[in-house]
Structure 1
């Protein structure tokens, strides 16, 4: 059986629509549909059934997906075995990370790796944690940087290993002209009457902020829902709103913004995630070694 067709079937079992699989594999939906049709012709039995706009696996499809996953894991493990025999760190390493940690960590790390290992190419793609884990499961990335807010314990496949990277503390960010500027700490209750500008790229982050405020007895007055940090920080600079943002965002690009420590603290843990069978890969090991250096921002 063709490996590419098996990979397409496995992707379809995860993503449920031809369009989503096509986007993940960087091909057209018709190409995915053709791959599945050829695989069904090859095995002589229906593997998927259409349900509305999506598909579900037939019993035969479910069985083949389980076998396909084992085959794909073995192939990647074999690649790691061969790579381990090479004395030079080379090839391509694909890294996915969410915006705040990516902007704070990735540029320096990939630059250092290029200096140390000129035959290694790091391909970076910005993804939210859930998206990057899906990419990791489907061999679309080699390393995913995730946090425990978006990926709670038990949400990862057994064949995915994680390594603790750092803790991040959330901060209150206000304009230099705001009444709270120059304060080292700010209590959440002091933000009851404020206008809020929030980054809505992560549903989990938004839900966390709203729930924290509700536990403190108020509902935040959200006047701006932004899909990235650029607009959020522009509104803060203009003193139109305040926000609570990850501490990693306080490490750069904060001209005309005052950062206060939130009391009580809200923390998150950040991890590196990768497929267990590829840990022996020299390219992956070089990345893990660089990320393990303290501090990772330097």
Structure 2
């Protein structure tokens, strides 16, 4: 019989890439993870990992087992959801992840609604960049996540996760109120304020500028849109700003761009019928702008 906990470690190795990353995600030592994966290989009766120097990769059998593991874990989520639906009242911890502008705009009213309707739920919010959320959901650090992508940088389908569409919003080029810039192509000569390398906002800015025929001259790396707008207003550069993060202010002019940001509610596959997850989805959809 294959051990589900060990199967989860193998699945996480497929997504995270290294034993050290799996160990960190589960608060284990790398040695403990290696021992558990070796035991799983003995249970399976075939090699699941191939070692090349200090690196490890999944064998074809290991890859096939990961695919079955996704199905097994989704079935377990569905079983937990059905058992939870049979209990009386909603209780327990629900860990919600969200990107910064969603924490400010989408979450507050949803949290108020959930607290009023289900006071026994213990709601915990963590702010994360979208690139971090899939792994946080899979290793159960999150139960629900508000994540986004852009039509110019669409997200890939994530194994073991399901998505519920929430909103789409416009994307703007934010320029100082007195600037002569009227279009994205005009910003080739401007200094730019963009997100940190590795974030989705950084990727989207680079792609949009490249589509306009230039590479942005980056002056500042800032991830908080409130700070970005303050720097734009101070004449320190231009930036891309999504609609949710763009409150009207007289010292910043917003130029619409041919791009859309799309927000989805994510949860582990099989968990949609869990009463607490369903309640979160309902509250978030009710509080989203029309």
Which TM-score band applies after superposition, normalised by the shorter structure? 0.7 to 0.9
Aligned length: 288
In structure 2, list runs of 5 or more residues that go unmatched.
none
Structure 1, 69-78 or 47-56: larger mean CA deviation: 47-56
The offset of 1:249, in angstroms, is 1.3
Aligned-residue CA RMSD (Å): 3.1
Give me the whole-angstrom Cα distance separating, in 2, the residues matched to 1:264 and 1:8: 43
Structure 1 residue 4: Cα displacement:
1.7
> Within 5 Å, which residues of 2 pair with 1:63-212?
63-149=64-150, 152=154, 155-157=157-159, 160-175=161-176, 178-180=177-179, 186-200=182-196, 203-212=199-208
Equivalent position of 1:268 in the other structure: 261
**Residue-by-residue CA offset, 1:66-97 (whole Å, 9 max, x unaligned):** 33333222221110001111231122222222
Deviations 1:201-250 (A, max 9, x none): 65443343234334434442221223544653453343222212112112
Aligned residue for 1:192, secondary structure, equals helix
> Are positions 1:232 and 2:228 aligned together?
yes
Which one of the candidate residues 230, 242, 247 is aligned to 1:246?
A: 242
Contact persistence 1:25–1:140 (CA under 8 A)? no
Q: How far has the Cα of 1:146 moved from its partner?
A: 2.4
Taking structure 1 as the reference length, the TM-score comes to: 0.81
Unaligned runs of 5+ in 1: none
Deviation at 1:33, TM superposition (A): 1.9
- Of residues 278, 285, 288 in structure 2, which corresponds to 1:292? 285
State how far apart, in whole Å, the 1-side matches of 2:12 and 2:87 are. Answer: 31
Question: In structure 2, do the counterparts of structure 1 residues 3 and 218 end up closer, same or farther at CA, with 3 Å as the change threshold?
Answer: closer
Residue 3 (structure 2) pairs with residue 31 (structure 1)? no
Deviation at 1:140, TM superposition (A): 4.1
Name 1:283's counterpart in structure 2: 276
